[in-house]
Amino acid sequence: MRPEQILVVDDEKRIVENIAGCLKREGFNVIGAHDGSEAVALFELQRFDLVLLDLSMPGMNGYEVMEKIFGMDGDVLIIIMTGFASVESAVTALKKGAWDYLKKPFEYADLIKTVKNALAQSNLMADKKAVSARLEASEKQYKYMVDNSPDLIFTLDLNGCFTFVNDQFERLLGFSSKVLMGSRFEDLVHKGDRGKVRELVSSGTFVQEGANGHELHYRFKRASQNLSHYDPYSAFAFLELKAAPMYLPASDTRKERKGVYAVARDVTDRVNLEAQLRQAQKMEAIGTLAGGIAHDFNNILMGIQGYASLVKCGFDKNSEEFKRLSNIDEYVSNGAEMARHLLGFAQKSCHETNRINLNYLLKMSAKMFGRTKKDIIIHQALEKKLWSTVVDEGQIKQVLMNLFVNAWQAMSNGGKITIKSENILIDESRIDEFGFGVAGAFVKISVTDTGAGMDRETMSRIFDPFFTTKDRGQGTGLGLATAYGIINSHKGAFKVDSTPGRGSTFMFFLPAEDARVDIIPAVEETEKIINGKGKILLVDDEKGVIEVCFEMLEALGYEVEIASSGIEAIKIMDKDEDKIDLVILDMVMPGMNGVETYDVIRKIRPDIRVLVSSGYSKEEELKEMIKKGCDDFILKPFDVVMLSEKLQVVFNAMDKAG
């Protein structure tokens, strides 16, 4: 530590030298001045920690010197030396800012004591000032960080009332500090979460001890009801709360809790994304289940329809037996339609796509629906230059009709349905807003009703298969689940906006497209059975399907070999490759599936004709098989007439190629 710098000012040279000598022996650095002007000039050149100043000097007196020095350094210590008997001069100097005074003549011991006391007090004051400056800077930094924090920071008293809130409350929730100060914390919490707040506060365990405090999740009320366009529950923000107890000062030995420190982070986006992920995972699991059910159901229908069609061949078309068997066919068709619903939901059905303007389907579907529902007003707000999309027209019609029926059932006393089409560009910044993770150009279709609306619990389940709010017998609960599956299979997405008492809006997004998609040509159905000849290898893992197909093929005049797996089919091809004219190949089999079996069969016999058969395959798998060179596709369930026509098409193509 450097020695303190002291300036001694007196017009008597002897006094200056004596005082300087005494102070130097105590370790101080001392410089002398013999008049006021010299003292001021020295102070301009360097700063001193303390000035010993004689009041009575010729020229510039002590008061004037004090004024000059304080003008250069307001914190310097000045001790007055005066020979006047009266105390008034010393009091005047003290009023002008002098630290202390010494009355001449004085003992050197008094001089040293006065100087050291003054310097000690000065150091304490300097330390206090530095601490105060650091504290002020720290408080400014704290206030800046707290008020600009993205988190809500607040304190509560023992009654659960706010005693401090940061500015983020107003930015996030819309409530100013003036509004919140003194108000109860629970009044800001969603009513569904208030019970646990009261329980925790009343039990005195609002927070638990621990380094990280206690974590709670609450829904906080917003001042505005319209902060998010797509979320009907935007009146509340989901916040993750961390809190810890606030005690009396450490000096108080009672250790009484006086309140709570708390930090709350906005996790609304995270909660919404997690909900979307859970919904997607749930729908994927249910879709897998639905696809499996539809697969088994199709195989059952395959047996019923196949045998019924065989029996029909033995009766005249005008007979009662033929009519009854035709009724069985009709019921099988209804069952097959339900299976297609399930497969559409499971995203495993095959569909034919065209590039179209969805306004055409909207107008046609609305017109058809409006004819039967006279108590409903249908308003159309269609984009004049709507982008084209590549879709299966039949499936999108089904989606629209399901949405129309759903809207009509929500308006028991009649109402209005608004159909809207628009072009939407979704960039990376808007993915979360729209609820699905692909940016690009989309066509958005909205169907809005003026019905009763839905609560949050109902909205979370509306796409679940077999979930319905209707009375028993008034619906299967597959309508919206099927629509959801169809839109997903088109690489689109669904959104729902609904508030109890304010109606509902169902929105789906489909990718805007320019390229035309090739359509697999359909075979025109007839009632004529076409017999043939040749040897067919029938490959299917379902015993019932093999049995009925075996009988149908024999009835049509074909020789049949059967294989219940891909491996068995390959063994037969290795042994009898030249004797097999055509393979009917199931796509979905355990072990080696249809695609893998096809690849091996083609290596054994490159020119073999293959008719793919399935009611479960994904459209992508079917397109892959067509690209690989498979000859045609027949959708389960099918009857003997449909099978005979498909085989005739394939064999005719063989003859032309030959």
* Mean pLDDT value across residues 8-26: 92
Tell me the CATH class for 535-657.
alpha beta
> Is it the case that residue 589 has pLDDT exceeding 80?
yes
Phi then psi for residue 262, to 5 deg, are: -150, 145
Say what the pLDDT of residue 647 is. 92
Say what the pLDDT of residue 204 is. 43
> Is it the case that residue 203 has pLDDT exceeding 60?
no
Q: Please, which pLDDT band fits residue 476 given cuts at 50, 70 and 90?
A: very low
Contact in structure between 153 and 243 (CB atoms under 8 Å):
no
Tell me the CATH class for 5-128.
alpha beta
Measured CA to CA in angstroms, residue 483 lies from 292, 410, 440, 451, 622 at distances of: 18, 17, 22, 20, 22
**Helix pair 268-312, 543-555: axis angle to 10 deg:** 40
Say what the pLDDT of residue 219 is. 62
* Mean pLDDT value across residues 236-242: 71
Say what the pLDDT of residue 525 is. 42
Token pair 């639905």: residue: 290
Query: For strand 632-635 and strand 609-614, is the pairing parallel, antiparallel, or unpaired?
Result: parallel
Instruction: Tell me the pLDDT tens digit for each residue of 352-388.
Output: 677 889 998 898 888 878 776 777 889 999 998 899 9
**Single-letter code of the amino acid located at 130:** A
Instruction: Tell me the pLDDT tens digit for each residue of 50-101.
Output: 999 998 888 898 899 999 999 998 888 999 988 764 567 778 888 898 998 8
The mean pLDDT of the chain is: 79
Say what the pLDDT of residue 443 is. 94
Instruction: Tell me the pLDDT tens digit for each residue of 130-146.
Output: 888 898 888 888 888 88
The DSSP H or E segment spanning 154 is strand 152-156
**Single-letter code of the amino acid located at 196:** K
Fold of 152-266: Beta-Lactamase (3.30.450)
**Where is average pLDDT lowest: 31-35, 344-348, 481-485?**
344-348
HSE (CB half, 13 Å, CA atoms) of 318?
0
List, as one string, the DSSP characters of 320-341.
Answer: HHHHHHHHHHHHHHHHHHHHHH
Residue 240 and residue 232: Cα distance in Å, rounded?
A: 21
Say what the pLDDT of residue 421 is. 95
List, as one string, the DSSP characters of 46-112.
Answer: S--SEEEEES--SSS-HHHHHHHHHHH-TT-EEEEEE--S-SHHHHHHHHTT--EEEESS--HHHHH
**Single-letter code of the amino acid located at 578:** D
Whether the full predicted model's pTM is greater than 0.85, yes or no, is: no
Say what the pLDDT of residue 253 is. 57
Fold of 354-511: Heat Shock Protein 90 (3.30.565)
Residue 220 and residue 227: Cα distance in Å, rounded?
A: 13
Partner residues linked to 634 by β-bridges: 613
Instruction: Tell me the pLDDT tens digit for each residue of 262-295.
Output: 888 887 777 777 777 776 777 677 667 766 777 7
